[in-house]
């Protein structure tokens, strides 16, 4: 089968998953876009029905109405956890987006220009480590210089443009966290062999959280190995329907980690970004038709664990008390895609002195959804407003999460809605507890 035919049939190849939907509608109450719009076509069941119409030739894949309903989907996969028939909606969505692209469909939404720019960046910048490094260096320069900070604090941008202020806030939020006072990575000398998948956004804009992850693992009996040749995981590409670039990136990461995985039976790849983790665990699905990579992808995916999931398997080492009031927002790709539902709370309750208030609807999408907040700002804003209202109701002074996109979206939301609450990666809290206990001063 040629590459072209494969693309043409991206949705048709998933027909079993489409037909697996029994139209029960149990997913409807979990779907944020259906809840907001009340339109069946913006529900999981409705979208699957439209996909079926495309595969049966009753609906043109390039039609603006098909694109619009598919564009509006957050890819949050809340419908998957609600579905009694086990419909793998996330894969269907990616295939639908790939099919739209192949048939020349274009976004019919309000942010068509932003989408094209983001598509360009995904195709031309993210797969190239040099270009990506330069782009992120520019972002860090903008974020960290004192003039930018002065402008940010003055509120002048919000008086000029709300949209620009939101984009600005997303960037400035990446400097928030609680691991800034400790620096340095850790190699550890424990019995468990791990390697952290550092990711592109995490390593470039959230390096303190990555370093905290390594220190925390070292304290918890791990030996860490750095794998230098790793590249972007490809999650943003897969979610936007660019499955070929996602596959290319997956192959490069499998090559990079192969000798580490071969070095020890229990070697584990640790990820602290939920969106990346969900795709790393699905490289086996992504490459199932590639004879040279299918088995290697399966071994890779089997070896991936979210850092909270990995730590919560054993007894998490106890640190010093932390006098903070926290709440936790579960990233969709941790809760729904990876089904890691209780490990983060186990981590939080292992920290002495911490006051933890559960967040109402913690598993509901915050509206960040990768680049959805830039491509579908209206829907994203509605979901964010709802989420921030619930965070405020907890009275917490720190909101923790486990994904860079959620971190930025929530941090920007707290700023825009003037809620006095910080934001951090959950591992940074454990790291702070260990720092206070003196684990790093030896």
Nearer to ligand SF4 (CB atom), residue 364 or residue 431:
364
| Size of the chain in residues | 442
Nearer to ligand SF4 (CB atom), residue 61 or residue 194:
61
Which window, 22-30, 139-147, 252-260, 343-351, contacts ligand SF4 (CB under 6 A)?
A: 22-30
Does 15 bind ligand SF4 (CB under 6 A)? Our answer is no
Residues 356-385 that bind ligand SF4 (CB under 6 A): none
Give the residue, chosen from 10, 11, 18, 31, that forms a contact with ligand SF4 under the rule CB under 6 A. Answer: 31
- Minimum distance between the CB of residue 160 and ligand SF4, rounded to whole angstroms? 32
Does 401 bind ligand SF4 (CB under 6 A)? Our answer is no
Does 27 bind ligand SF4 (CB under 6 A)? Our answer is yes
Query: How many residues of this chain bind ligand SF4 (CB under 6 A)?
Result: 27
Burial of 328: CB neighbours in 10 Å, binned 0-12, 13-18, 19+: buried
Which window, 26-34, 210-218, 237-245, 393-401, contacts ligand SF4 (CB under 6 A)?
A: 26-34
x/- track of binding to ligand SF4 for residues 35-54 (CB under 6 A)? ---------xx-xx------
- Minimum distance between the CB of residue 359 and ligand SF4, rounded to whole angstroms? 18
Other beta carbons less than 10 A from residue 153's beta carbon: 9
Tokens read off for 256 = 């990079």
Nearer to ligand SF4 (CB atom), residue 74 or residue 408:
74
Burial of 87: CB neighbours in 10 Å, binned 0-12, 13-18, 19+: buried
Does 33 bind ligand SF4 (CB under 6 A)? Our answer is yes
Give the residue, chosen from 19, 22, 137, 164, that forms a contact with ligand SF4 under the rule CB under 6 A. Answer: 22
Does 331 bind ligand SF4 (CB under 6 A)? Our answer is no
Does 246 bind ligand SF4 (CB under 6 A)? Our answer is no
* CA dist., res. 131 & res. 72, Å (int): 30
- Minimum distance between the CB of residue 20 and ligand SF4, rounded to whole angstroms? 7
Tokens read off for 58 = 């009753």
Which window, 28-36, 58-66, 150-158, 200-208, contacts ligand SF4 (CB under 6 A)?
A: 28-36
Residues 73-102 that bind ligand SF4 (CB under 6 A): 73-79, 82-83, 85, 87, 89
Q: Which element (helix H / strand E) includes 268?
A: strand 268-271
Helix, strand and coil content of the chain, in percent to the nearest 5, comes to 55, 5, 35
- Minimum distance between the CB of residue 125 and ligand SF4, rounded to whole angstroms? 26
Q: Judge contact between 227 and 243, C-beta under 8 A.
A: no
- Minimum distance between the CB of residue 43 and ligand SF4, rounded to whole angstroms? 6
Does 30 bind ligand SF4 (CB under 6 A)? Our answer is yes
* CA dist., res. 353 & res. 233, Å (int): 36
- Minimum distance between the CB of residue 135 and ligand SF4, rounded to whole angstroms? 28
- Minimum distance between the CB of residue 134 and ligand SF4, rounded to whole angstroms? 33
Burial of 262: CB neighbours in 10 Å, binned 0-12, 13-18, 19+: exposed
* CA dist., res. 231 & res. 199, Å (int): 7
Residues 59-78 that bind ligand SF4 (CB under 6 A): 73-78
- Minimum distance between the CB of residue 379 and ligand SF4, rounded to whole angstroms? 9
Instruction: Please report where in the chains the tokens 């600005």 appear, as a residue.
Output: 168
Does 240 bind ligand SF4 (CB under 6 A)? Our answer is no
* CA dist., res. 166 & res. 412, Å (int): 6
* CA dist., res. 397 & res. 377, Å (int): 27
* CA dist., res. 16 & res. 25, Å (int): 18
Nearer to ligand SF4 (CB atom), residue 52 or residue 163:
52
Q: Where are the alpha helices (DSSP H) in 108-227?
A: 112-124, 129-144, 146-154, 156-160, 162-173, 200-205, 207-219
Question: Please, what's the b/e burial string for 331-369 (b: 16 or more CB within 10 A of its CB; e: otherwise)?
Answer: bbbbbbbbebeebbbebbebbeebebeebeebbbbbbbb
Give the residue, chosen from 23, 58, 153, 442, that forms a contact with ligand SF4 under the rule CB under 6 A. Answer: 23
Partnered with residue 192 across adjacent β-strands are 222
Residues 154-183 that bind ligand SF4 (CB under 6 A): none
Residue 149 CB partners (closer than 8 Å, separation 6+): 172
Q: Which residues bind ligand SF4 (CB under 6 A)?
A: 21-27, 30-33, 44-45, 47-48, 73-79, 82-83, 85, 87, 89
């Amino acid at each position: 089968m040629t590459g072209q035919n494969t693309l043409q049939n991206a949705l048709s190849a998933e027909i079993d998953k489409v037909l697996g939907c029994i139209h029960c509608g149990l997913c409807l109450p979990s779907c944020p876009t259906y809840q907001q719009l009340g339109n069946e076509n913006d529900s999981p069941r409705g979208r699957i029905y439209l996909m079926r119409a495309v595969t049966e030739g009753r609906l043109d894949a390039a039609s603006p109405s098909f694109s619009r309903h598919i564009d509006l989907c957050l890819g949050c996969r809340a419908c998957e956890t609600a579905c009694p028939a086990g419909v793998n909606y996330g894969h269907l969505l990616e295939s639908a987006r790939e099919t739209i692209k192949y048939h020349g469909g274009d976004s019919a939404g309000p942010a068509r220009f932003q989408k094209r720019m983001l598509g360009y960046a995904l195709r031309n910048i993210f797969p190239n480590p040099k270009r990506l490094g330069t782009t992120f260096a520019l972002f860090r320069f903008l974020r960290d210089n004192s003039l930018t900070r002065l402008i940010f604090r003055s509120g002048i941008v919000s008086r000029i443009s709300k949209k620009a202020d939101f984009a600005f806030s997303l960037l400035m939020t990446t400097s928030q966290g609680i691991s800034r006072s400790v620096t340095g990575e850790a190699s550890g000398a424990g019995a468990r062999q791990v390697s952290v998948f550092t990711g592109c956004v995490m390593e470039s804009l959230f390096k303190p959280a990555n370093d905290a992850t390594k220190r925390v693992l070292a304290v918890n009996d791990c030996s860490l190995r750095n794998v230098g040749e790793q590249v972007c995981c490809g999650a943003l590409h897969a979610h936007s329907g660019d499955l070929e670039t996602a596959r290319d990136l997956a192959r490069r990461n499998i090559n990079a980690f192969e000798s580490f995985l071969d070095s020890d039976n229990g070697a584990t790849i640790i990820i602290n970004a939920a969106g990346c983790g969900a795709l790393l665990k699905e490289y086996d699905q992504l490459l199932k038709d590639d004879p040279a990579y299918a088995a290697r992808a399966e071994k890779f995916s089997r070896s991936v664990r979210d850092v909270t999931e990995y730590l919560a398997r054993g007894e998490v080492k106890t640190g010093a008390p932390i006098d903070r009031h926290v709440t936790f927002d579960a990233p969709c790709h941790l809760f729904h895609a990876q089904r890691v539902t209780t490990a983060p709370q186990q981590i939080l309750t292992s920290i002495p002195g911490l006051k933890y208030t559960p967040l109402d609807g913690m598993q509901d999408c915050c509206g960040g959804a990768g680049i959805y907040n830039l491509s579908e700002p209206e829907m994203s804003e509605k979901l964010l407003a709802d989420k921030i209202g619930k965070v405020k109701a907890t009275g917490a002074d720190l909101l923790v999460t486990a994904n860079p996109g959620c971190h930025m979206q929530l941090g920007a939301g707290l700023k825009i809605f003037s809620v006095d609450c910080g934001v951090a990666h959950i591992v940074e809290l454990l790291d702070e507890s260990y720092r206070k206990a003196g684990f790093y001063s030896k």
